[in-house]
Structure 1
Amino acid sequence: MCRLWGPCQTILLIYLMIQHPGYAKRPVVMVIPNYNKILTGEKIMMTCGVESDPSECSWFHENILIYTGKDYVISMADMRHSGEYQCQNSAGERSEIVTLNVTTGQVILQAPVYIYEGDDVSLRCYSSYPAKHTIFYKDNRIIQNNNSDLLHIKSTDLTSTYRCSKQVLTTFNKTYSSDDTIITYTDLVESDSVIFTPEYNKLLTGENITMTFNGGFGTTNYWYKDYEKVAEGRSYTITSAQVGHSGVYDCRTKGKNSAQFRLDVSDGPVILQAPPLVYRGSDMVLRCHSRPGYRVISTTFYKDGNAAQPSTNDRATVIIPQNQQVGRYRCTRTLSWEEYVTYTDEVSLHIRELFSKPKISIVQNTVREGDNIICNTSLSLPQKRPLLQFTFYRDRQKVLNLNSSSKVLNVRLEDSGNYSCEVRTANNTVRKRSAELYIRIQELFPKPNLTTIQNPVTKGDTMTLICNTSLSPLRRSTELQFAFYRDGRNVQRFNLSNQYEVLSTELEDSGNYSCEVRIPTNNVKKRSEEVSIQIKEYEHSTAALVTISVIIIIIIIIIIIILISVNKNKCKPLITSTSKKQTADPQETESPRVVSGEGDVCYADIKINHKAPATHTASNEDLCYVNFATSRTASSPTVVETQVIYSEIKGRTEI
């Protein structure tokens, strides 16, 4: 984890500029150190990450142009540098706003400039002074108390409020004033007085004092405080005086008592010490006294409200000349000291959106099978380019095998329903789900139908298969590709033709044929039902031959009638026909019947022979030959005048 902007952030930015140039167009502000809060007097540098000429970068503070150049440096920050910053590239595009907070606090809780959803974050409790005992709080509850200045936070805890405390060694300077002390002359003789060691009757708590009676030698002395006996002996010592030791004291003996005097013990930082008894004709020494451990900055004495004499001497004594001593006195002293003071600071983290809430969208208003459903979202800033994973749901059920980096879902005809999508980071720290959208999937083209121009097909014939389907009227521009199969094996790869043609069929072309139609993306593919096609050999059909023979006979009869008409009806024709399947000579026929009557008589002999003359050698054809003869006499079996007509008729059975 990089807590400050350094090599890792620089490499990340360069990588993003290379891999995602579209995202790198908007400049990015990089802050060193990478914290959104600093103390006054510290240095901070902001760099404008741009692809264009760095010299053309412009910097704005609170939307006011302040500097031109790639790096903007604040050498000694003060509170006027707080606010919103942006940099702008030569194309006029501005970075996202970066907020800087400059404070005079003793302790600050620092967070990174950029915090995104799903980030793990490190907070720093910082002070520029000597400090100890750092404590972190989450929602006012202690979560870390190990004197470490860093707190590592998981991405799931970023919405809480965090606070830290630290004991900072702090220097204080303060001016204190003593109580007033009134000085008057005493008429007591010195033998009646009490001697104080030290020689003042005012002291601070915790100090020691010894009081000694000047008279009463050789007798027992008793010490009284506020008329109650507290000690016995010529001297009375108070160790570590307390405020309760203040009061009126005197010393008593059998023959003589001392004068009463007052002892004051103060718990304040500063006191004015004066002699307990002031006699005329002698100088008076006053002392401004403060507790040990404080450094004295200055001392000033006052008499009757007027400054008498300043002093920087640590003892801070002043000598008041004789005959000028009566009056009201006090002193002031400015003290300096250091102590550990607990300071706190808190922060509510500003979490930037890593990516927007996804939304289901479609390319066209009417969704057809093979169309794409898109899960749209957008990333916030270029330096964060996480791997996002998309999951689609239909009717609140997860669409299988789509938990991937693809944000596109291809739909089928049966996939109508309520759709939503979910986007999450690879580590599953950020998840967002779209609203539901009902999508009805319509057919792009119907299931194809395979047809053939002729069926059955005879060997050697041309066979043409046609794959029939039709596009939706709104998708006429969609390209369709066709493929053909025989017995499940491809015989014609996908192309734009919906026909499959075999120019000369063979027996092995028989089989179960089907066709398949698809779009170029292969998202929609449909196959027809199978059609059985059998290629057949040639077959000899007796019925066909008989039919052809009858037709030929009819034709011949018509020809004979025409010939007879040409002979001017000179003879009355008598036709005797014989049809046999034989191999004899055409003259080997039955004797014609004789018809008596007037006029010329024509005799006709017709034979139908299936045997071909010697001039024909083809063996794969059925041939029918007709011999036709006419005669004018009937007395002799020999035909005198003969006309022979050969007619070649080829018969073929087509299936």
Structure 2
Amino acid sequence: MQACEVAALILLTVVSCSRQYEELPQTTLTLEPPFPEIFTGETVTLRCGVEGGSAGWKYLWYKDSEDSPVLQTAGCSITGDSYTITAAAVSDQGQYCCRGQRGDQPLYSQLSDPVTVTVSEGYPKAVLTLKPAWAQIFTGETVTLSCEVEGGFADWRFKQYRDGREEAGCSKQYSSRYGDSCTISKARHHHSGVSWCESASGQERSNAVNLTVSNQWVILQTPSQPVFEGDTLTLRCFIRNGYKATRLIFYKDNNQLQFRAGTAQSVDRVSKSDEGSYKCRAWWRNTASRTEPWRVSAEVRVSVRELFSTPTLTVLPGASVWEGEAVTLQCGAHINKQDTQLQYRYSKDNGTVRGAGSQDQHSIPAAGLRDTGRYQCEVEAAGTGLKKRSASVSLTVRALFSRVTLTASPGATVKEGEALNLTCEAAVNKTPRPELHYTIVRDGEPVTNSTDSALYSIASTEKSHTGSYTCAVESQGVRKSSQELHIELQTSWHSAVAIGYRVSFTLIHFIVFTLLLLQYCRIQGSPCLAGGKSRKTSDQDQEQSAEGIELSSRVQHTGVELE
């Protein structure tokens, strides 16, 4: 094949691919509601459309890059041509795009232009309100927009997002403007759009309000302000030209809610499960034609903002600590509505944590082994009964000492007068080894108090050293004791001899004294051992007693045995 033929083939292939790409259906991506900015906890839906209809198409979603496909998660759901973010978080903001896919050998639509989703944390400083306080009105009615700013209204202006473009809101062509308010008289369909007020710098914005001016026969009115969990949601169904409804039916996601006379439907203490698309069907009596016509309103998307986010429990500084270290449980929840007061409760292994207050953190100054477990925090909005629980978090407290032992050398039984050494040992698990302090206790009383020496020495044991000993080791506020060790004293042989000598000498002394006394009585002819008692004068008694003592003393000092 010649070079020119190769070049022609390549060119033909390129042209063919280019034409194939140009023939791919176009894709559009829209944001509902089309707010320029949403706040944490709000719900937003992105809707993907393929030119020529949606039949047979599946949809692929991307965030920030074509290489980053978006998957369905607990907080993000994909249904048909829509991708819904419930309870938006700051991490959800970014640029989204989509494309369609169909067929076994997939045919793709073109990639849509990106749509930017901006999520701001907390709640806005300014609040935009409507009067009357409904986001849907009939053509020809009057509506006033008011911007209420904490601390004043200076340097704030109205903006509007309409037909895909951002522009100045409340222009003089159709309204009058006085400081913080803007009035639209005889509203027309082209006044529909998303409005907000912002600071002159453009750095701060109020909440956005989606105003719909309708020329239909029936409209469903919903609150213009964000609906928060715990609020009462009121829906009103109205007929054009002041007709009164003879009967109404309200629907949520095409499911009938109620059949009743009247114009309003209320939902008390709304929750995220009350989010959805609402509409109403209204009947009225036409007296001229004596008929009862009916119409269905357009669907209105109602989003329920979280009053506060699901709390997150964090263990600081880490989920594994040593005994004696400080631990803080931090329970974080974002408040999305001003003046909301939160109360906090902490649980461990499904039981209440003693001593924990109602604040957003609970401190354990010195963690112990008993603090090991799985923790959760529960947050409740005061006065609403609305509660949310965090996921559980594990805390592991590791033992600083695995055991403490007390040993004696040469043993637990020693001879009186011998030396005795008591050694306190602790198996420390932490590296580097912390500084330890030791205390020796005998019979419940300390004999040493918090020293850095593990050795207690007795140079010469005495009977008073007998007793039950324990040792305690302390470090980082952790104190552990050993088992009892009983120390006994054994009498030595020379001590036993000395004691025996003293006992024997005393006994001999007593015997000798008794014999001398008997001998003396015999010599004197006095019946000392008889049952009767000899009569003697007191002088004789004293004389004999003195002689006996003197004789006994001589025997004691001279050691002479008397015959």
TM bucket by the smaller chain?
Answer: 0.3 to 0.5
TM-score between the two structures when normalised by the length of structure 1: 0.38
- Between structures 1 and 2, the one with greater helix share: 2
Higher alpha-carbon Rg: 1
